[in-house]
Amino acid sequence: MRKYIPHLTALLAFLVGTAVVLAIVSGGKSFDSPHFRDSTSPQAVVQLERDYAYRTGDQITFTVFVDQPSGTEVDGSSFAVTDTNEGDMEFSSQLLGSKTGAGDSMVLAVQVTLRKWSYEQTFTVKATMSYIVSSTGDTEALQVPDITLHMSPTWDGRKTLNQGDNRLRQDEKAYLNIILIAVGLFTSICMVLFMRAARRKNSRIRASRPRVPTALESARNGFELRRDLILGRDYRLEHYEELERIVRGLFQIETVTTDRVAAELPAPHRWAQDHVLTVLTHCDKRLYQDLSLTELEHAGLFSAFEQLLTEMPLHEMAPPPRITRWTPITTRLKRLPHRKLTFLAVGAKWLWRHRPFRYYV
């Protein structure tokens, strides 16, 4: 994982730098100005998203574009509504920005938010702005074009329908989406590299661990060790005790006496009954009767033990079925007759064809 740190750092720096550049380039409040005729005095043009279907108290937002020729200075915060009743209407204005227009003029964009608190089916907003003539220092009034708006609880009463794009328009902040995509991409790459490093580390740990022998392998190792010691004339009791312990552990008869083995040996191990009895009988003779075994009895003991270890893999039981949360459902489905399964399949097909949402996709 450490060898990827420089690459990840460089990738993160590149993504952050790209996001910052995009934020600087596209984060400014740019706008498209309308066309103005040639004039030596300021001009104003109003752009309104819609002029209908406003209700009492709705926010009515429009933009006033002002062409400021050279030699004049328009006050962007001087927007004022005239010819209105006291308390009937409230408004606020904000200068969005400015940019160079045709010739030496400047174009200002002022966003106005208006609210009307009394109902009128149609009303006109009259407003002015002020500007200063640089040569004389006089303050003049700039008349903003009248704005006619229509109010209605549900319909504005007009018979003509407005044509145009009625989709919801939101501010396009491309750099935000790019930042989110970059962060997601960087996180995904980090997760992939982390998972690969973790997998490699786990594989190295598993490879370094010693393999744990199975029960059958442990039994064979213990048997061969005791057999070699006994064949080397080492007749101590612990060797026979260990041989008996191995057999009892393999066939799950640790607490069963030798005379009860034939009756209580588990059903899956019935095939080994004769060999188990042979091993236990010879070991009991040495352990509990304190008698020495002859060479023929030793040969029979080792032969029976070898037969058990050789034939046991052939009689191993199949692993139990895996039980999941779907097991009860699948078991019931398997028990159903063929006709019921066909009926369920036909019913599911009919429900899918007549699903209520397919016409809206």
| Phi, psi of 288, rounded to the nearest 5 degrees | -105, -20
DSSP category for residue 257: -
Is the four-CA dihedral 203, 209, 214, 220 of positive or negative sign? Answer: positive
Report mean pLDDT in 10-residue bins for the chain, 361 residues. 68 75 58 76 87 83 89 86 73 84 84 86 88 87 88 69 60 70 87 85 74 82 93 92 93 90 87 92 91 92 92 70 75 70 78 59 35
User: What's the pLDDT tens digit per position in 108-164?
Assistant: 899 899 888 888 888 888 889 999 988 888 888 888 988 888 887 766 666 776 666
User: Which pLDDT score is estimated for 76?
Assistant: 83
For the domain covering 43-150, report its CATH number.
2.60.40.2910
8 exposure class (CB count in 10 Å sphere: 0-12, 13-18, 19+): middle
What are 307's two structure tokens? Answer: 């037969």
In this prediction, residue 300 carries a pLDDT of: 93
- Ordered by start, the domain boundaries in the chain are 1-30+174-200, 43-150, 215-315
pTM listed for this prediction: 0.39
Q: Rounded to the nearest 10 degrees, what angle do helices 295-311 and 215-231 cross at?
A: 160
CA angle centred on 72, ends 68 and 75, rounded to 5°: 75
Question: What CA dihedral angle connects 152, 153, 159 and 164, to 10 degrees?
Answer: 90
Count CA atoms within 13 Å of residue 36 on its CB side: 25
**Edge-to-edge strands, sheet with 43-48:** 43-48, 60-68, 106-116, 89-100
Residue 285's pLDDT is: 92
